[in-house]
Amino acid sequence: GKTLTVGLIPADGIGREVIPAARQVLEALPSDIMPARLRFENLNAGFEYFQKHGVALPEETLVALKSECDGALFGAVSSPSHKVAGYSSPIVGLRKQMDLYANVRPVISSEASTASGKKRAIDMLIIRENTECLYIKDEKQYEDAGGKYAIAKRRISEHASQRIGDMAFSMALQRDGMRQLATAAERTWSGRPKVTIVHKSNVLSVTDGLWRETVRGVYEGNEKYRSRVDVEEQLVDSMVYRMFREPEAFDVVVAPNMYGDIISDGAAALVGSLGLVPSANVGDNFVVGEPVHGSAPDIAGKNIANPIAAIRSAAMLLERTGYDAAALAIYRAVDRVLADGTIRTPDLGGSSTTTEVVDAVCKQL
Ligand code: NAD
Ligand code: MN
């Protein structure tokens, strides 16, 4: 039969607790739901590894990922806030080396995040371009008679906009396929799949103009997208306004790097604890699931980190590698544990341990 090989890169802090937790959940999937055999490769990276060995993302890790793995799970890295000679972030390096050009973040409301009473059915997928925009970091400071000033370059290319646009529309269809597997009660989005293109081309008509035209062009040029997906546009400022007023109005949202960074952190605030929010770094041939949170040194080593963000990231990996039913089973199991409410880590107001949450999720499978 088929085998799915998953690289595990716990890296630092609570990464070492939540990545093994996610592995345990993957291993608990019954074989009728997960038809492939799972294999795991434990791989090194991180700041602690750098302190011991002088490199944060060792070559062996990259070689193993490229030659043996179908996807990977990354925990978190304790990046120092001061500059350390020779150090650069392993997750940033990984995105570059594996050409993971999209950062994908689902924002889903759950019982745990609706303590305010008003039930909101948020089920949004934010797709952030991850290779260019202002993050090319080409900035420079000058000085003239008027004083100091600085200029940053912002790169928007047809190539990058095209491939991220294509990913947004194909993920909209893929999500729709997942929804068909779910029950009506589980579905928060009932209409046709929709992609919202975020830009500010009323002001930045050249850069955002190229982005907008290119992403629209992907849609116009593909009959499958045109016939099955709706498209709308939103200026980035009103996107933020609408997202806080009526987050239930969005399905897939696609944005250039900088806008996507800001929108996706803002969206995470809509659904509660960082310990719940997963993400995936996606390229054409590889996916790395990654909880949005950091290494949380304040709670590391105590077995109280919330493993749900990492567990959901593992489900995203399954979705991307073609195991929709297995992914759905994990999302469901997590939702049931959250809805039940008796097993919760301290970040959600409970007193359960990481291990107890993992056991509860596995039991639901
Ligand atoms: P953080 O996400 O690590 O922690 C912020 C707060 O949220 C802390 O109080 C922490 O205890 C809590 N928290 C985070 N994840 C949790 C979980 N799963 N369960 C329960 N509580 C959780 O952010 P920070 O404190 O700003 O950064 C700590 C370190 O992590 C820094 O070195 C930073 O550079 C790094 N970091 C890494 C990433 C990444 O690897 N992608 C992202 C953010 C921060
Ligand atoms: Mn950010």
Ligand 2 centroid to residue 285 C-alpha, Å: 24
Ligand 2 centroid to residue 290 C-alpha, Å: 13
pLDDT at 65: 98
Mutate to test the pocket of ligand 1, among 274, 277, 311, 353 (most ligand atoms within 8 A of CB): 274
Q: In terms of pTM, does the model score above 0.90?
A: yes
Average pLDDT over residues 77-84: 87
Q: Is the CB of 294 under 6 A from ligand 1?
A: yes
Ligand nearest to the CA of 262: 2
Specify the length of the chain in residues: 365
Average pLDDT over residues 316-339: 94
> Per-residue pLDDT tens for 194-240?
999 999 999 999 999 999 999 999 999 999 999 999 999 999 999 99
Tell me whether residue 248 is exposed, middle or buried, using C-beta atoms within 10 angstroms of its C-beta: 0 to 12, 13 to 18, 19 or more: middle
Q: Is the CB of 171 under 6 A from ligand 1?
A: no
Stated as kind and residue range, the H or E segment containing 280 is strand 280-282
Average pLDDT over residues 327-354: 94
Ligand nearest to the CA of 94: 1
Q: Give all domains of the chain, ordered by start, each with its CATH number.
A: 1-104+279-365 (3.40.718.10), 123-270 (3.40.718.10)
Distance CA 263, CA 286 (A): 24
Q: Is the CB of 305 under 6 A from ligand 1?
A: yes
ipTM for this model: 0.96
- Least confident stretch, 1-5, 85-89, 131-135, 187-191: 187-191
Give the amino acid at 185: A
Q: Mean pLDDT, the chain, as a whole number?
A: 93
| H helix and E strand count, the chain | 12, 12
Q: Is the pLDDT of residue 284 over 50?
A: yes
Query: Which atom of ligand 1 approaches the CA of 309 most closely?
Result: 18
> Per-residue pLDDT tens for 44-62?
999 999 999 999 999 999 9
pLDDT band at 112, cuts 50/70/90?
very low
In sequence order, which ranges of the chain are alpha helices (DSSP H)? 15-27, 47-53, 59-68, 90-97, 158-181, 207-220, 223-228, 236-245, 257-270, 308-320, 324-340, 354-364
Q: Is the CB of 320 under 6 A from ligand 1?
A: no
